[in-house]
Chain A
Amino acid sequence: GQQVMQIPQYQHVQEGEDFTTYCNSSTTLSNIQWYKQRPGGHPVFLIQLVKSGEVKKQKRLTFQFGEAKKNSSLHITATQTTDVGTYFCAGLFISNFGNEKLTFGTGTRLTIIP
């Protein structure tokens, strides 16, 4: 079945340092979505990337979708304590029959050292 691998599983950074999480799929994705889950909270949709090579920015967050639509990354510049949480990618697979399946990665838990 389709799997979406996400690395690293954990990341500890000093406040002000940058952070990157990576997402990889063995098969081509229709789109990729990113979610953030605060400790004890629920996943919150951040963004969706659809086009090959697409880059989108949200303030200090930069999202990229690979040229082959098999990988993606989320980069946070100059982390702040409000960035703490687990970041999930979710890849959308669409079968030849038109069935869609959104598969979540295992997430990267970001902790900030003040």
Chain B
Amino acid sequence: NAGVTQTPKFQVLKTGQSMTLQCAQDMNHNSMYWYRQDPGMGLRLIYYSASEGTTDKGEVPNGYNVSRLNKREFSLRLESAAPSQTSVYFCASSEMGARNYGYTFGSGTRLTVV
């Protein structure tokens, strides 16, 4: 039982390059989330998908797009990377949002934009 799997684990991009961060969960969870973590700022929600076929903006969506490909997979795309997007990105999932269950996080993607 792998839980939430994120790829890649590390990535270095040049300014203006694009990339997609992949996330997959095998727990049959309905809700999935993308967070970024920066020093001293905790975890900030970028986008979320409450259920398959729906996506919504979080606190810091600018510069990102997402796709809920199916119930298992939720990808995050940076169309034109900027140094301000240097961060650690975490994908998370939960069975039915946060009302009754905690989130399960992936191991993260450490992204550096130079």
A-side residues, CB < 8 A to B, are 1, 6, 9, 30-31, 33, 35, 41-48, 88, 90, 92, 94, 100-102, 104-107
The reply to whether the CB of B40 lies closer than 8 angstroms to some CB of chain A is: yes
Interchain CB contact under 8 A, A44 and B43: no
In-complex Cβ contact of B99 among A6, A9, A31 (8 A)? A31
* Number of CB contacts from chain A to chain B under 8 A: 54
B40 touches A106 (CB 8 A): yes
Which residues of B does A touch, CB under 8 Å?
35, 40-45, 59, 90, 92, 97-108
Q: Contact at A88–B98, with CB atoms within 8 Å?
A: no
A42 touches B42 (CB 8 A): no
Given the contacts A42-B90, A42-B108, A100 and B97 also touching, CB distance less than 8 Å: yes
Q: Are A33 and B102 in contact (CB under 8 A)?
A: yes
7 closest A-B pairs by CB: A45-B102, A106-B42, A104-B43, A102-B98, A42-B105, A104-B42, A92-B98
Please give, as numbers and ranges, the residues of chain A lying within 8 Å of B90 by CB-CB distance. Answer: 42-43
CA distance A105 to B41 in the complex (A): 8
Are B99 and A92 closer than 8 Å at their CB atoms? yes
Contact residues in B for A47 (Cβ distance below 8 Å): 102
The answer on a CB contact under 8 Å between B99 and A43 is: no
Select one of B41, B42, B98 contacting A100, CB under 8 A.
B98
Shortest Cβ distance from B55 into chain A, in angstroms?
A: 14
